[in-house]
Amino acid sequence: MTLADVLKPENIIPEMRSTDRWQAIDELIDRLVSTGSVNAEHREAIAAVVKKRETSMSTGIGFGVGIPHASTDLIPEVIGALGRSKAGINFEALDNQPVHLVMLFLVPQGQFQKHLQTLANIAKLLHNREFRQSLEEAPDAEAIYRIIKGQTGK
């Protein structure tokens, strides 16, 4: 699955308010709830599983990118939310640099191959410096989505 497959324009936050990785995870899950991608009654359980995964090792992969993710039986399909922070978020990243792009995604429980494949595809795309820069410079969520759709459609 590509980034465009798991992301809807309404699940993009062009200016996150979060200052640390825990707030960022909550902010992105709240967006998934507010857009109906996640049932409100599952919000706490989903936040707990993502934070548990994040506690084992930061998903701040370097280059200003964080990819918090988890598997859960509370969703029927892979879903995601993308947040951008111009100020940067302390994500305890591998390179100790602030994170400017946070891509949270959730995979249905038991779909391990799809989970690994989605993570690899997103990480590969976000490692591209020109792509990251275009996302960071985009004026709004719609422009961010168009960039993602164009890049992953190739």
115 part of the active site: no
Residue 115, class by beta-carbon neighbours within 10 Å (0-12 exposed, 13-18 middle, 19+ buried)? buried
Residue 2, class by beta-carbon neighbours within 10 Å (0-12 exposed, 13-18 middle, 19+ buried)? middle
Catalytic hit among 42, 69, 115, 127? 69
* Angstrom distance (rounded) from CA 6 to CA 106: 9
Kindly list the catalytic residues: 69
